[in-house]
Amino acid sequence: MIPELNTKQGDAGGVKFSHSDLLARVGTSQDREAFATLFEALAPRVKAYMMQLGATPDTAEEITQETFVKVWRKAAQYDPNKSSAATWAFTIARNVRIDTLRKENRPALDPNEPMLVPDEPQTPFQEIEKSNVVDRVTSSIAELSADQREVIQLSFMVGLSHQEIANRLQIPLGTVKSRLRLSFEKLRLSLGEMR
């Protein structure tokens, strides 16, 4: 619950202004002096309130700083008919606190998570061997008949299902399957010694 707030006067340049007046000046003309006065009046109260809610002094200070950055940026949105300037600032602080708690409660990433561990760099020998394999597979596919090469490419390079290949080529599903089976047999013979 937000603490009871009274609308005290701020002193900007020797003239007394309410917190609402100060905030309105910040919103309309980005008056730095009015903002400094508002900050001096409200920041200690916001920080104390955050500490009452269980924040450490450092966290309370961070929340207060972020709150007043938002107050500065959103001052033009302030409507004195809806709430006092202090209530508006405390509402922003409450929302910043909620965001901070959400961030703190996120589980930390496990650096050993397999998806986060980069692959070990390959040695030059491994790179050459990989290149040789790619060359062998490419040349073996090139040796297939045009019909067999087409179904292999649609299946493995484009990622179509057997039925989608049949629909695209306007051939029976059984023909797609037999072409794939024949091309696998030829590739197996051609690449057999690579195992």
The token duo for 118 is 């980069």
Instruction: Match domain 9-104 to its CATH number in 2.30.110.10, 1.10.1740.10, 1.10.150.120, 3.40.50.150.
Output: 1.10.1740.10
Q: What does DSSP assign to residue 8? A: -
Residue with tokens 């003309």: 29
**Overall residue count recorded for the chain in this entry:** 195
Domains 9-104 and 124-194 share a fold: no
pLDDT (0 to 100) of residue 68: 95
Distance CA 3, CA 49 (A): 8
Specify the DSSP element, H or E, that contains 18: strand 15-18
pLDDT (0 to 100) of residue 6: 39
CATH classification (class only), 124-194: mainly alpha
Q: What is the DSSP pairing of strand 9-12 with strand 15-18? A: antiparallel
Residue with tokens 């955050």: 50
pLDDT (0 to 100) of residue 113: 74
Burial of 79 (C-beta count, 10 Å sphere; 0-12/13-18/19+): exposed
**Average pLDDT per run of 10 along the chain, which is 195 residues long?**
41 68 91 93 94 90 95 92 91 92 75 75 83 85 90 88 93 93 88 64
Buried/exposed code over 20-54 (b: 16+ C-beta within 10 A; e: otherwise): bbbbbbbbeeebeebbebbbebbbebbbebbbeee
Distance CA 6, CA 148 (A): 83
Predicted TM-score (pTM) of the model is: 0.49
**Domain layout of the chain by residue ranges:** 9-104, 124-194
Phi, psi of 157 (to 5 degrees): -100, -35
> Residues 44-52: contacts with CB within 8 Å, 24+ apart?
45/3, 45/86, 46/89, 46/90, 46/93, 49/2, 49/3, 49/90, 49/93, 50/93, 50/97, 52/3
Distance CA 109, CA 183 (A): 45
